[in-house]
Chains A and B, each alone.
Chain A
């Protein structure tokens, strides 16, 4: 008997797939598999390899937090004496992210637990560590120390911000010191390294968490691949700066999929709560 709800044949599937407009296809930057955009789901994860697309800071807050109140919303780089090129980059960053700097900070909640949160955004001048980025992060830890809150920080950064010169470098020391002070109060700091976390951010607060987590297939490193290739004159393997390799080598506590992250964090906050 012919079932009128029978599954389409292989040919039929191919024919239907061809009708999907170009714009609805996504190519995974990690495994290069092409897939219909809806298959990535709300977490924007490649159905083939599990790599998560780079998320905006506000989207990340929506996905992983139940409540959020922004801090230092108006804080921004004074563009007065900056060159035109840098001004344009800052303006584009603000337009891309709807945040004034490469990090969004505030107080958030998951379930019954309040915490201070920071989310870096790679779409703001590659998530670079500008002077104001450092200022916001330092203030995040200060305020968390004052309010006796844990800190959860999502990092995403190409490293230092060249345009801010030596002041960018100084942020590494400045933020590190606030991390140390927060820690001395016996407060919890969880860093979650997202794609890409590199350079001066890796070499400071990203690697200073009590608990250091990452997402699948995240690029994490200090030196850039190109610089390493030029120095050692050989090509490192594809996965040499990937979260899975860092986990194996002992530099991450865990890799957590986006769909599990909220429950995972809820559990960690519970395990560190005073109640």
Chain B
């Protein structure tokens, strides 16, 4: 039975939602995490590094929410700061240099709305992520795991292939934000969720995403996602760098 839009929002935000760190550990081997943007800081809301996918070296980048309150505060509930986007850019450029495919896992309600984030150029950091992501000369797969809101999510979701997990949402702004702007009432989330057309089914129909990934809840569903990623990396690796960039261009041009 299909969920309503609001039920999908709730499921996407569920405490039981698979964590990016678990996805990385269970799908890849030899994961080595790297830190820092080489300019100012290390943003713990972004986890990134290199690993092997079925023997192939890849760069993995994902937003990481906390598993408890303390960790959530440290990681800003997966809301990324400019330093996090700059770390992601650095790892993407590194992947390009060593011709490694890039896989991103997105679970963020948006970029972190803080004072330092503004002072440190949140807009500029996302803008540069988009430039780098759109022109990346290696295969790039983006998987939306839970929430994906606004430019803060898009910065990590300009893949050649964009997938969403069954219980995930993708929208221009959060349902709460939408409700408070449209009706000056952030509690009308249910209607907002409907209006925003944020479910994987609708976004698949609209061509915004390419596939819905069965929810990762156990070993076999993890293995399923792993198999999907292996096959997709193999498929994308058949294209030249120029072909990849051209196809990505076409993919986003049609929007």
A145 within 8 Å of B (CB atoms): no
A169 and B121 within 8 A (CB): no
Select which of B115, B127, B172, B208 is within 8 A of A206 by beta carbon. Answer: B127
A172 and B197 within 8 A (CB): no
B182 and A199 within 8 A (CB): no
B contact face: mostly helix, strand, loop, or mixed: helix
C-beta contact mask, A23-34 vs B, less than 8 Å → 1, else 0?
A: 000000000000
Chain B residues near A172 (CB, 8 Å)? 130, 151, 154
A200 and B151 within 8 A (CB): yes
CB distance from B165 to the nearest CB of A (A): 17
C-beta contact mask, B235-255 vs A, less than 8 Å → 1, else 0?
A: 000000000000011001101
Given contacts A166-B197, A223-B111, A249-B121, contact A203 B172 (CB under 8 A): no
A179 within 8 Å of B (CB atoms): yes
B131 within 8 Å of A (CB atoms): yes
Give the distance in Å from the alpha carbon of A231 to the alpha carbon of B181 in the complex: 17
Question: B182, B198, B253 — which one has the most chain A CB atoms within 10 A of its CB?
Answer: B253
Given contacts A166-B172, A167-B255, A223-B113, contact A228 B130 (CB under 8 A): no
Chain A residues near B118 (CB, 8 Å)? 221-223, 228, 236, 240-241
Select which of B114, B117, B128, B134 is within 8 A of A173 by beta carbon. Answer: B134
B215 within 8 Å of A (CB atoms): no
C-beta contact mask, A164-182 vs B, less than 8 Å → 1, else 0?
A: 1111111111101101110
A:125-149 near B, CB below 8 Å: 131, 134, 138
**Which partner residue on chain B sits nearest A230 by CB separation?**
B113
**Which partner residue on chain B sits nearest A167 by CB separation?**
B255
CB distance from B244 to the nearest CB of A (A): 13
A14 within 8 Å of B (CB atoms): no
A165 and B197 within 8 A (CB): yes
Chain A residues near B123 (CB, 8 Å)? 202-203, 206-207, 220-222
B119 and A240 within 8 A (CB): yes
Chain A residues near B117 (CB, 8 Å)? 222-223
A124 within 8 Å of B (CB atoms): no
Given contacts A227-B113, A245-B119, contact A168 B127 (CB under 8 A): no
A residues with a Cβ closer than 8 A to B are 131, 134, 138, 160, 162, 164-174, 176-177, 179-181, 199-200, 202-208, 220-224, 227-228, 231-232, 234, 236, 240-241, 245-246, 249-251
Task: Give 4 A-B pairs besides A162-B172, A166-B203 with Cβ atoms closer than 8 angstroms.
Answer: A169-B151, A170-B154, A227-B177, A251-B124
Which 10 pairs between the two chains have the least Cβ-Cβ distance?
Answer: A202-B123, A223-B113, A170-B255, A207-B127, A203-B126, A176-B130, A222-B123, A222-B122, A203-B151, A177-B134
B residues with a Cβ closer than 8 A to A are 111-115, 117-124, 126-128, 130-131, 133-135, 150-151, 154-155, 158, 170-173, 177-178, 181-182, 195-198, 203, 206, 208, 248-249, 252-253, 255
